[in-house]
């Protein structure tokens, strides 16, 4: 969704209108974050624990993709998540995964007692990211009545304070730039890969654009960023085919609508560069059968699958929607 505000809009509107507009724009910006938060709340316990444990090294892009996947695809995502960080892809043992999981387990054992798993505490987070300190000093109570822990990484101190001496240690505001060389997410265990090639991802939106459209009429819009599409080079052109499949299911898993299609892309190098910040759009009219009346007001799910044939990259997503009563 895009919106253009005339340059003289503020001069023509009173302060209350200006404030209302900014509240509206902030609400638009917050909507995707709220949607991802709702998806995270619905995760099964096993997948919620996975996200809790890897949150320190999971990118925002990876988080979005993982939350939008159906359960059937999340196991494969987890395998790919660790493989992307494997310093030796040809080895059966992933040194990065082993080291990270060991740190999580040690943090959980060392820093229990704060009302949450040890790996979710401030001390646990620092331990996981930077490893065990070279020196750890504890101060039961200082002159201000605080309990403290000071961890040294070489000559650099990291300080945790427990204001009430009840075992709730919080990291004080401190610049950790000096420790970045020790950060497991940035250090020797991290697999380097081409930074310009983004993850294959796409956005899905279910729209009702025409006010006169019936309750059962929608339009599915899929936008695939060009920056995440892998192409073959053939006859002086960059080519690929996107295969799309969509299914709308009712609460019992019955199919109430489906659509599929293939879309061939062929671009020159200059054309691809010109579109690097844009997306390729595919649209599908979603019109349920005339007997869709009983489905109105009920929750339906839209299952979307997009496959890029150039590198056989496939990504599935699930969205919930309701027909207006």
All residues at 6 or more sequence positions from 247 whose CB lies less than 8 Å from its CB, including other chains: 255, 257, 258, 302, 303
pLDDT tens digits for 77-102? 999 999 989 888 888 899 999 999 99
In CATH terms, the superfamily for domain 203-322 is: Intracellular proteinase inhibitor BsuPI (2.60.40.2360)
Instruction: Tell me if 180 sits within 8 A of 186, measured CB to CB.
Output: yes
All residues at 6 or more sequence positions from 289 whose CB lies less than 8 Å from its CB, including other chains: 256, 257
Instruction: Tell me if 310 sits within 8 A of 267, measured CB to CB.
Output: no
Reading the block at residue 111, the tokens are 């820093």
DSSP 297: T
The pLDDT score that the predictor gives to residue 325 is: 54
- Nearest-angstrom CA–CA distance, 134 and 151: 8
pLDDT tens digits for 309-321? 988 888 889 888 8
Domain ranges in the chain?
Answer: 15-83, 95-182, 203-322
Instruction: Tell me if 70 sits within 8 A of 317, measured CB to CB.
Output: yes
Average per-residue pLDDT for the chain: 81
- Nearest-angstrom CA–CA distance, 215 and 209: 12
pLDDT tens digits for 158-217? 999 999 888 899 999 777 878 887 888 765 444 443 344 467 889 999 887 666 556 557
Asked whether the whole model's pTM tops 0.85, one would answer: no
Reading the block at residue 219, the tokens are 């339009």
DSSP 76: H
In 3-state terms, what secondary structure has residue 322?
A: strand
State the maximum Cα–Cα separation within the chain, in Å, rounded to a whole number.
76
- Nearest-angstrom CA–CA distance, 291 and 216: 10
Report the pLDDT averaged over residues 113-142.
91
């Amino acid at each position: 969704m895009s919106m253009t505000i005339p340059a003289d809009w503020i001069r023509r509107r009173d302060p209350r209108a200006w404030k209302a507009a900014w509240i509206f724009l902030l609400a638009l910006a917050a909507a995707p974050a709220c949607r991802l938060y709702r998806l995270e709340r619905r995760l099964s316990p096993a997948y919620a624990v996975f996200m809790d444990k890897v949150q320190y090294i999971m990118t925002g892009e990876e988080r979005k993709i993982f939350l939008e996947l159906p359960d059937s695809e999340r196991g494969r995502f987890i395998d790919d998540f660790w493989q992307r960080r494997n310093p030796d892809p040809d080895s059966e043992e992933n040194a990065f995964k082993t080291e990270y999981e060991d740190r999580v387990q040690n943090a959980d054992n060392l820093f229990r007692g704060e009302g949450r798993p040890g790996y979710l505490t401030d001390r646990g987070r620092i331990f996981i990211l930077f490893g065990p300190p070279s020196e750890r000093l504890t101060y039961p109570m200082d002159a201000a009545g605080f309990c403290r822990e000071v961890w040294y990484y070489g000559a650099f101190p990291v300080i945790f304070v427990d204001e009430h001496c009840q075992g709730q240690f919080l990291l004080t505001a401190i610049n950790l730039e000096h420790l970045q060389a020790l950060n497991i997410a940035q250090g020797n265990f991290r697999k380097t890969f081409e930074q310009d090639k983004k993850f294959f991802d796409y956005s899905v939106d279910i729209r009702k654009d025409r006010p006169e459209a019936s309750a059962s009429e929608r339009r599915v819009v899929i936008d695939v960023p060009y920056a995440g599409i892998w192409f073959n080079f053939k006859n002086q052109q960059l080519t690929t085919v996107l295969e799309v499949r969509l299914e709308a299911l009712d609460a019992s898993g019955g199919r109430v609508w489906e659509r599929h299609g293939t879309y061939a892309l062929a671009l020159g190098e200059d054309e691809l560069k010109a579109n690097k910040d844009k997306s390729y759009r595919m649209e599908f009219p979603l019109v349920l059968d005339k007997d869709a009346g009983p489905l109105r007001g009920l929750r339906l799910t839209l299952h979307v699958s997009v496959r890029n044939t150039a590198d056989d990259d496939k990504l599935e997503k699930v969205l919930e929607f309701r027909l207006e009563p």
